[in-house]
Structure 1
């Protein structure tokens, strides 16, 4: 039952992870990347394009974060506070404000660097003048995909010694004018790439379907077969031990239904008694699996829904029902004389 619950947990957790990333964190429709850092005036020009409902500029620079002897290479993202189209969330899913001074890191990245809030990190900029900055770690944020480091955009511009500039922009668009907007964007010489969030979501879903979800489905099938095997084996042993008693009851005048009720009652009680500890053990297994699957690409949230508990209990109950039907058929074919002689 614990194995069944662990497999069902993965199915729910993957859906929760994708929902958090592409419904709550990434709320834009398009991500534009420019050929080079561009003046903030580009945001105003984008607002006048067909179908554009909202625009947020961002500045991204490749850096190496160093803390002690540990280092990580990634992109430092500068956003205009408070970000609306690209939010940062805490563990409970609440939007967080960017700190006015200091870095905000995803918790997984901070753990990889062995850094805590208040520690000073060295930031080696990998473009332009290649400055080496000293910045405090001011806040942590929980995100299911990737590793991130964030600063207010103006603060990042100041650290880089440049005026207000952006590396790209996030756009919220009207679906009815999406095609016209794409044509207008591709005619702009400064636009290097256009990323569609629905395409990105489809790509991550396909990847997870081929890896994690396939593993979860196989896991559920194997766990179901184990559940059936355990229940069936226990029932066979019970039937063999009770054959003489069952035959005696039949000789004493008990009907097949009454004898079957006695036999199946024991199996039913054992199955029901196994549900609460099975749930508890399944919760522990899911927590361990959650920690084992955490990596720099994605982190599966610990989401235990009623569906996971229901699948675990239902799988065992169905296995018990099938075994009960098999035992009733076996009981109907019970040779009372042979059973009494063998037991005697």
Structure 2
């Protein structure tokens, strides 16, 4: 009986050692720390090319009796008075104080003015109630100027609100789905003034890394120099890379477009554990490792119960019924078992080791801090 011949057996004898060395090299490459190949545009941005926040005070009208109570919200009445004056209508102060406009709500309008925005471009706006309006559903935002940090008007907002929610109330009961006091107007604002961007100024431009990392800054500079020539880019620090760019505007745009598409190898992120103390959320990245340690964790519970005790006087004694409370306090502490945690070199091993404790997320907050203090957690612990 003949056995099938494998591909390796069919190779000539002198070729086999070479084949084995190639396989060994591939295995070694796979065992190297994993590096992510991304484009420069995904790890850095052009310094100065950014959006600007816009905000403005406005009024939403046409509400179905769910607006502000103007007697409690004077700025709603004042805002309406200022708007009517612009239309040529003036009401005496006494009449303004008596108005009960339940179909008007004072709102704050916010938006983002993107880089290179030109007059006439449409922007999305968010509308949020400033007073005690019950709902903005079905309302219309009247013309509202949106100002920047310098106090200048850069856009005008107006339109019908979209409120993703519903609510009903009757007989003291109330049911609400989502927030009714916040709405959105797609393309509800129009740009009136552009913000100049210093993209075509000077002989060079700066690349600002999304995260400070000296290794990434060095690799970005090397990628640019490898494509456009030595000395074109140089890293200033862990976040800034200065790049010499063409003076001609069209050539500079083409240079930036090609530079942003260059691949760059980003280093593995620093080991970090993010702890949200408000929600109890814990997030670990792939670089977190754990040293061998032993943990004993027990739960302490305190229970306080109060039972009413009624003391009644004898008949015809003239006494009064007295109600007192009998309080019982019970303290219970569970036995803490000493658990040995092995050293974990990968994120999956760390997760498996922490799950073996059987602790709640709130307990893990204290356990991780204790492990860090003991020197067994090889990561930066950040509490947000």
TM-score, normalization: structure 1? Answer: 0.22
- Specify the structure having the higher radius of gyration (Cα): 2
Relative to total residues, which structure has the larger helix share, 1 or 2?
Answer: 1
TM-score, normalization: structure 2? Answer: 0.20
Relative to total residues, which structure has the larger strand share, 1 or 2?
Answer: 2
